[in-house]
Structure 1
Amino acid sequence: MRLRYGMNPHQQATITPLGRPPFAVVSGGPSYINILDALTGWQLVREAARRFGVPASASYKHVSPAGAALGETVADAYARARDADPKSSYGDFVAVSHPVDLELAGLLKRVVSDGIIAPGYDDGVVDVLAAKKRATYLVLEADAEFEPPAEEVREVYGVRLTQQRDALPMPHDLPDDAVLGMIVARYTQSNTVVMVKDGMTIGVGAGQQSRVDCTRLAGEKARLWWSRRSSEPLTGVTMVSDGALPFADNVEEAQRYGVTHIAEPGGSIRSPEVAAACAKAGITWSATGLRLFRH
């Protein structure tokens, strides 16, 4: 299938399923980045919903989530996901784990968004969504039973790279917010730091070369999110890092944003220093042994 364009309008692009298609186009025409956002976002919300047994949603921009959250309904989950960083969610691609109802369709009708992927749509929903963006809003229906191949293949500049798909189960001995943060980190461009509170991301620092910059970026987003709700100090935040914290400066930064639990792979030469800094700051430290890089 020919796409509207590639990563940029001057690039032509096509999509070719390698067997059973993972989704169907219900309305609109996808671009290259739409497909990347949709496929990545769907895997995030599918994994989160399976783990926690409630609806999950993610608001994707440029192959990383601006926000992700659990909710009592799909509308609740998306509202919480978008509320994490509404500025970054402007023009997002939406992923939800359960069929879309008219409540969520009504919410999407009022916000600027490029498209959505979901496992189904209630009666009347597609008509509401398809009318968005001068009738160009992209609606994709995910195949809820589709399992991605065990091997990932990428061809870049004349070289083919293959690797095992990252499907290692998340730990069962961590608090829910830590596990949710790890699931979000798995589907976010590295380096990544995710801050989570009460089942929703409140700050995502993605794609930075310096991990402490990820921590600051996620923390400032978390602080802004909290400032819209309360004048009291922010606390009870869980911070997840997709890679080992290389220095204790990340802990010092985390303190500024109300972090009380840090979950990271550990195993670094300075991990004992990081653990000691957490103990001194009264922050619970969990070494997961699980790196979650994504490039």
Structure 2
Amino acid sequence: MQECPLKYGCNPNQNPARLDRADGGELPFTVVNGNPGYINFLDALNSWQLVRELDEATGMPAAASFKHVSPTSAALGLPLPDTLKRACFVEDVDGLDDSPLASAYARARGTDRLSSFGDWAALSRPVDAATARLLRREVSDGVIAPDYSEEALAILCEKKNGKYNVVSIDASYVPNPLESKEVFGIRFTQKRNDCRFSPETLGDIVTQEKDLPSTAKRDLLVALLTLKYTQSNSVCFAVDGQAIGVGAGQQSRIHCTRLAGDKADTWRLRQSERVLSLPFRSDLTRAARDNVIDQYLHDYEEDVTAEGRWQLYFTSRPLPFTKEERAAYLRQEARLSLASDAFFPFADNILRAAQSGVRYIAQPGGSTRDDAVREQADACGMTMVFTHQRLFHH
């Protein structure tokens, strides 16, 4: 296939729309089911690169959940603790414990469930039935993977009344080293960002604290590779083999850090017993529960626990989760990792990271204020690595 017609462009009025290779060669993917659009394929091709590189860097199955050309999360196929299963609403998924790939997607999808609603999924290895069953139950636009088992494909092709987008990609495909795009009739050409990360690239520790365990290196790799395919500016928090807070597309880096930190805080709070024990009504969908949890964890003029409202969501009136209680929960040791796609220009980013339990940092370095940033990291007892590799993505 040398040309792939698309449902439409960024918006329904932008027709015609199609994909083809700049060098005129065969496209490296097959649309197995559905009719993906322009944004679907932007998500698919970016997310595929992310999970492939995560798999290569760690040797573990990887998954990503993408929305509007940025990952909501990316994760490795590590087993899920029971509390995380409950927080991700996957404790009842058949075969989850036996499928590292399904575990990876459960983590990626479950990190920021509000943002992942209607996502595009990417999987680094052939999709099995357990992963397909997990995808089938979520609101999702499509999936890209190198292959699908016969049972998995049958499950996915039933989704959305047979219209779910399923794309198979050639895992051996290597693109041209030069890439280009057009804006307003002007063509931009550049060398592809083919930088690679491994544990060995995390050797330039610039802080007084030098402790960088293998688990922290793994989490920093997850964060760095997530940022490589996130719209800049961007900052990513990670722990336990998954990105737990992505701050994307902000003009100010401190706003990236605050956004990512707030998401990481929410991910942690979702695993608190206060949230896990919320008495939801049985007819409330998972998506509706996500919205209610978000309101429960943030300040609104009229909280979901207020008199006259709680009956809409709960079988009994839950206790409020006060600011003080949430702050106390978040003060528990977390040992999170954080990466930034460009240098931190001010130490305020380090202070905000510390508030969310960050212990390990990777950033390019190169700011005129590197010394001030390093001093703040030292004051917070953090280990900070300079990668000397900027990761802007547009």
With the length of structure 2 as denominator, give the TM-score of the two structures: 0.73
The letter for the 1-side match of 2:10 is M
The letter for the 1-side match of 2:257 is T
Instruction: State how far apart, in whole Å, the 2-side matches of 1:258 and 1:27 are.
Output: 43
Instruction: State how far apart, in whole Å, the 2-side matches of 1:28 and 1:126 are.
Output: 12
Instruction: State how far apart, in whole Å, the 2-side matches of 1:173 and 1:140 are.
Output: 33
1:165 to 183, 188, 192: 192
2:372 to 250, 261, 273: 273
**More displaced, 38-47 or 177-186?**
177-186
2:237 to 192, 195, 200: 195
Larger gyration radius, structure 1 or structure 2: 2
Tell me how far 1:173 sits from its aligned partner.
4.3
In structure 2, the residue matched to 1:219 is 261
Instruction: State how far apart, in whole Å, the 1-side matches of 2:195 and 2:131 are.
Output: 32
- Name the SS of the counterpart of 1:88 in structure 2: helix
Alignment of 1:125-274 (within 5 A): 125-171=152-198, 172-174=200-202, 175-230=217-272, 231=329, 233-274=332-373
1:66 has 2:165 as partner: no
1:10 has 2:13 as partner: yes
Gaps of 5+ in 2: 79-99, 203-216, 273-328
Tell me how far 1:134 sits from its aligned partner.
2.2
Quick check: 1:28–1:135 contact (8 Å CA) kept in 2?
A: yes
**More displaced, 11-20 or 272-281?**
11-20
The letter for the 2-side match of 1:246 is P
Structure having the larger proportion of residues in helix: 2
Quick check: 1:99–1:118 contact (8 Å CA) kept in 2?
A: yes
In structure 1, the residue matched to 2:58 is 52
Alignment of 1:10-29 (within 5 A): 10-12=13-15, 13-18=17-22, 19-29=25-35
Instruction: State how far apart, in whole Å, the 1-side matches of 2:28 and 2:101 are.
Output: 21
Quick check: 2:234–2:256 contact (8 Å CA) kept in 1?
A: yes
Aligned length: 295
In structure 2, the residue matched to 1:292 is 391
Quick check: 1:223–1:234 contact (8 Å CA) kept in 2?
A: no
**More displaced, 16-25 or 41-50?**
16-25
The letter for the 2-side match of 1:67 is S
Instruction: State how far apart, in whole Å, the 2-side matches of 1:32 and 1:100 are.
Output: 24
Tell me how far 1:112 sits from its aligned partner.
0.5
- Name the SS of the counterpart of 2:224 in structure 1: helix
Gaps of 5+ in 1: none
Aligned sequence identity (%): 48
Extract structure 1 runs of 4+ deviating beyond 4 A.
none
- Name the SS of the counterpart of 1:147 in structure 2: coil
Tell me how far 1:205 sits from its aligned partner.
0.4
1:39 to 45, 55, 70: 45
**More displaced, 231-240 or 8-17?**
231-240
Q: Tell me how large the CA RMSD over aligned residues is.
A: 1.1
Tell me how far 1:234 sits from its aligned partner.
5.0
In structure 2, the residue matched to 1:80 is 107
Quick check: 1:241–1:265 contact (8 Å CA) kept in 2?
A: yes
**More displaced, 55-64 or 9-18?**
9-18
Instruction: State how far apart, in whole Å, the 2-side matches of 1:16 and 1:164 are.
Output: 19
